[in-house]
Amino acid sequence: MLSARFAQLLRAIDGAELAFAASTDADASAWLDANPHGWDLALIDVFLASGHGFRVLRHCQERAPGQKVAMMSNYDRDPMRQRALDAGADAFFEKATQLEALIEFCVACRK
């Protein structure tokens, strides 16, 4: 779900704690299914080492009101962004150009 680079950035956010990181949709989905209340924010990359982030997003469909999901990708075309939002993501960020906005979203989720 999250690269080492983004994990390091998240650890720098006051009060943030990384609950789990996965590079495959199978591992991420299994963790989410086993820990439905064990997270506040799921940060999902569209393209994973194995599998696809949209499969992971499906496992976040039934979540508590306070739980947020953000998807990210280097591919930021309107169809991808809109597909993510239509599929239930609360936000979508382009990794190369919207890093600051992504961090702001993560900080806002901590409040």
* Tens digit of pLDDT at every position of the chain (111 positions): 456 777 777 778 888 888 888 999 999 999 999 999 999 999 999 999 999 999 999 999 989 999 999 999 987 677 899 999 999 999 999 988 998 999 999 999 876
Quote the CA–CA distance of 107 and 75 in Å, as a whole number: 23
- All domains of the chain in start order, with CATH: 4-110 (3.40.50.2300)
Quote the CA–CA distance of 53 and 70 in Å, as a whole number: 11
pLDDT confidence of residue 1:
47
Q: Return the half-sphere exposure (C-beta side, CA atoms, 13 A cut-off) of residue 35.
A: 15
Residue 17, SS3?
coil
